[in-house]
Structure 1
Amino acid sequence: MYYVQRNEEGQLTRVENEPFTGMTGEVFTQTPEITAWNNARNVVDESLQHKELLQRSDLEMVRVLDDLIFLLIQKGVITITDLPPMAQVKLMNRAQARQGLGGLEDLLNSDDQGIF
């Protein structure tokens, strides 16, 4: 059994397996409408999972980009002044924050000597 809420046009706005406040009816069998709702919910849930994975990896990629920029500067491929002024400020702020980690930074990557 499915507990449903419909809008004024009769379209599903919510489907649950348990009764809920605001429900407007019950559907006793799996109908094409319920199947379509569940398929759409699965697509949305999967999209949200992918979005969460990307958001978590975004945070990890910041460190990778920091290290990449440091390496390019260290090897003389680029200089800090090649970057836009706001990027320079952000990189310097991040470099200071990473150096502020002190001993913790050494646990993460012992050959980092600073970005500049």
Structure 2
Amino acid sequence: MPFVRRDADGVIDAVFAHAEGEATEELPHGHPELLVYLGIDANAIIDADEWLRADLALARVIEDLITILMDKGVISFTDLPPGAQEKIIARQGLRTEVSYVASLFGNDDENFL
């Protein structure tokens, strides 16, 4: 955790990796005062995180839609631009790996003691 030094008004005026001189107070990395000192807008991070989650969910929907259209013969894989083909292949590979690892552990109902 970072160590902070405060000015006469109690406002953080310096941050150190280790305790130094008057900087003996430790704060957790996400502490609001530390974020203010570093100029990080916590609300912007939360908003960006929500957008990221929405984008990831939409990416999955689009990936599934492409798969359905290919299965029905509406489009073929080669109709997609090379960049899209590469991304789909990479995601399918990741999904296969994750599915394999998940299958090793089963679900909670199967592993209940």
TM-score, with structure 2 as normaliser: 0.46
Larger Rg over CA atoms: 1
**Quick one: higher RCO (CA 8 Å, sep 6+), 1 or 2?**
1
